[in-house]
Amino acid sequence: MSQFQALLPEVQAEDCAPLLMDIELADMLVMTVAWVRAHAIEIPGFQRLGSYYRFRSNEVKRWLGSLDQLLEAEPVAFLLKVPVSWVDANADQIPGVVRLGRYVRFRPAVINRFLGGSEVVQ
């Protein structure tokens, strides 16, 4: 146990989830740090600490389903064996889609379940 942890009162692990830096969230979303900062107010778990942009990891995980890096259209097209243009045009019919403004990303766990046959596209 570190000296700082010893100073903290006993709290639930969920209450004390680590914060994500803007660069970590940008990597997860496959976006730029500038995009994350410009849209921070719309991202669940946003916390401004002076000039620092931080995000509560438990709220980001609840929003995205995990803290895994999202997939862009290209790898999804490869996995589905369709053109990237088809993925872009039909993104809302593909499970696990996350719309980030005009950008489209996909939750990898949902895509993997779909490819495994445990989810049906409606």
Measured between alpha carbons, how far is 105 from 97 in angstroms, rounded to an integer? 6
Tell whether 44 is covered by a domain: yes
pTM score, two decimals? 0.80
The domain tally of the chain equals 2
Q: What is the pLDDT of residue 40?
A: 97
Q: What is the pLDDT of residue 122?
A: 40
Q: Which residues of the chain have pLDDT under 50?
A: 121-122
Q: What is the pLDDT of residue 17?
A: 77
Q: Which residues make beta-bridge pairs with 106?
A: 71, 97
Tell whether 84 is covered by a domain: yes
Residue type, 37: R
Question: Considering only CA atoms, which of 42, 19, 28 is closest in space to residue 106?
Answer: 28
Q: What is the pLDDT of residue 121?
A: 47
Q: Which domain holds residue 41?
A: 15-64
